[in-house]
Amino acid sequence: MVGLSLGETHFIQGGIAQDLRCDGRKRLTYRPISVETGVIPQTNGSARVRMGATDVIASVKAELGKPSLLQPDKGKVSIYVDCSSTAEPAFEGRGGDELAAELSNALQRCLLGGKSGAGAGIDLSSLIVVEGKICWDLYIDGLVVSSDGNLLDALGAAIKAALSNTGIPRVQVAAGTSNDEHPEVDVSDEEFLQFDTSRVPVIVTLTKVGRHYIVDATSEEESQMSSAVSISVNRQGHICGITKRGGVGLDPSIILDMISVAKHVSEQLINKLDSEIASAEAEEES
């Protein structure tokens, strides 16, 4: 937990009210983002994202599995977050479980879309190999290495970067066996399919401190929040998911206002992130 004196809290709150935060940022400015891709070689895709002192790693692993009975034409994606005790002493043992579960749920809600697949960042139909029999299971793991606020946005960005770094092996289904219960497949280890990540949304968390809200709050600023709303927005400007944190109630008009602000901020964030990812990929190849 962040221990702040009365003076410090006044300073933070006063700064936010005057649109000049402790680190010199404005209310709607992100900290510098740095992206590194391919950090974990044994996964299909991985990325590390740093925003100030917040440091997270996301990895994507693909395995062949069986689609669920209810949705035989779709692959499966699961997202788990682990809060390492290196990030914060309070995460030791089972201390981080609650936060980890909250983050996992929020990410699933923001990235996986509705039941019919509308608004999903990942096209589940593209993961199918043989309908009803074989599909790709994507395991997306997030790891919080160092925590200084705004974990959800950082994890969302890291997952987006990791997915664009992901190559899924091309699969050949052996001809003539497609009616079997277990068709034979040949997984290529040379040819990889690239993921289309243009639809993956970014998450913008607006943290309300006093009467104003800020993006990319540090943990000091988060300790002063009354509530926070995380909004995931895709490139088309459509909302893909909303999660509210913090128990204090919000007026509906404020939430609508937050949504429009988030849409505006997300445009810049997506562009920034895309260029960071592109340069990271270029660096990895060189």
Partner 1 sequence: MPKLYKFLSVFRTGAVNAASGSAYAEFGNTKVIVSVFGPRESKKAMMYSDIGRLNCNVSFTTFATPIRGQGSDHKEYCAMLHKALEGAIILETFPKTTVDVFALVLESSGSNSISECVAGDLPVVISCASLALADAGIMMYDIVASVSVSCFNKNLVIDPILEEEIGQDGSLMITCMPSRYEITQLTVTGEWSTTKINEGMQLCLDACAKLAKIMRSCLKEVASDSQE
Is residue 247 involved in binding partner 1 (CB under 8 A)?
A: yes
Count of chain residues binding partner 1 (CB under 8 A): 37
In the stretch 108-147, what mask flags binding to partner 1 with x, by CB under 8 A?
Answer: -x--xxxxx-xxx---------------------------
Six-digit token string for 24: 């010199």
**Distance separating alpha carbons of residues 79 and 27, to the nearest angstrom:** 30
Six-digit token string for 184: 């034979």
Six-digit token string for 138: 């994507």
**Distance separating alpha carbons of residues 138 and 218, to the nearest angstrom:** 31
Six-digit token string for 130: 């043989």
Question: Of these, 243, 266, 269, 274, which contacts partner 1 (CB under 8 A)?
Answer: 243
Which 182-241 residues touch partner 1, going by CB under 8 A?
Answer: 227, 229, 234, 238-241
**Distance separating alpha carbons of residues 49 and 54, to the nearest angstrom:** 8
Length of the chain: 286
Closest distance to partner 1 from the beta carbon of 173 (Å) = 28
Any residues with CB less than 8 A from the CB of 199 and at least 6 apart, and which? 120, 121, 122, 123, 234, 235
Closest distance to partner 1 from the beta carbon of 1 (Å) = 12
Closest distance to partner 1 from the beta carbon of 266 (Å) = 12
Which 48-77 residues touch partner 1, going by CB under 8 A?
Answer: 70
Which 267-286 residues touch partner 1, going by CB under 8 A?
Answer: none
Q: What does the binding site for partner 1 look like in residue numbers (CB under 8 A)?
A: 70, 98, 101-102, 105, 109, 112-116, 118-120, 227, 229, 234, 238-252, 255-256, 259-260, 263
